[in-house]
Structure formats: C-alpha cells, structure tokens
Amino acid sequence: MTVKVLLTRGSVCMGDDCHAPHQRDVTFDATTTLGEFVAQVAGYPLRMRGARWVMFLGWNRAEGAPIAEISPEWESPRFMAGTDPLTPLVSLAPADSDLSFFFQYQPGSVPLTGPPDPPRGLDPLAGRLALWLAERG
C-alpha cells in the first residue's frame, strides 16, 4: 500500500511567484513514519542560507497545523511540540483525498523549537562557544 502526497511551498520573492504553484506529487510506502517522510522531503523547498521553512499539514498555512521546521543550516528537522515523528504517514491521510503538506518560508534560521545548531564549518571551540551563547541568549 502507498500514500500519495502533494507538496507545495510559498514563494520567496516576486520572481519566484511566476513559477507558482510550486507543487510536487510524491508517493511513499504506507509504513513510512512522519519523521522518515520529513527527512526525505527536507530538500524539497529552496535550500537558501539564512532561511527556515515551517512545514504545515494541509494544502496551505491557514488549513493546517505546523508540524516541523527545516533549514539547510541544521543537522536535522525540528518537530513542533505535540508532533510525534513515529506517527505512520498513512494515518494522517484523509479517507477521501491525498495527503498534503505546505512549506512556508521564514527569513532567518533560528528555530522556533529547541536551541539553534552550532554553525557548521567552524572549529570545535567556536562551535561550542556559539552553542553556549545561544543557550544564554
């Protein structure tokens, strides 16, 4: 059994609007968990430095609830409070339609959930210092 998923994202600028809607249809195995799914589609939105994408369950932001945040600057997706990454993807699909997720662009890569990751590419001491500063800030 499989689950058909419709992905779409918000535009990041006026030039990006001319390519809207930014829809992609993908199919996943019914045994896929929400955490596995989010990790696999994390590359779908534009990978821009200093950007964060909030992932909503539903066709658009107004329709659904935020479930995760992703950024190319983080090691892994961040799940919102109350979202269980072990939830089977198939259990989220409505009986009469496909499953939809919407990604909303947010400037800045500071997560809404949890402390920020230390900056990549720095020496270990600088990374620890950045994490220490983030925890205090």
Give the pLDDT confidence of 26-80 residue by residue, as tens digits.
Answer: 888 888 999 999 998 888 776 777 778 888 987 666 667 889 998 887 888 889 8
- 90 three-state secondary structure: helix
Does any domain span residue 50? yes
**pLDDT of amino acid 9:** 79
Inside any domain, residue 127: no
Whether 127 contacts 76, CB under 8 Å: no
Residue with tokens 């059994």, as numbered in its chain: 1
User: In sequence order, which ranges of the chain are alpha helices (DSSP H)?
Assistant: 14-17, 34-41, 124-136
Does residue 125 lie within any of the structural domains? no
The pLDDT of residue 122 is 46
Residue 75 counted as domain residue: yes
Residue 82 lies in a domain: yes
17 found inside a domain: yes
Question: Which H helix or E strand runs over 53?
Answer: strand 51-57
The percent of residues above 70 in pLDDT, for the chain, comes to 65
CB 6 within 8 A of CB 101: yes
Task: Specify the number of domains making up the chain.
Answer: 1
Quote the domain boundaries for residue 26.
2-111
Residue pLDDT, tens place only, 6-37: 888 776 665 555 555 667 788 888 889 999 99
The CATH number covering residue 49 comes to 3.10.20
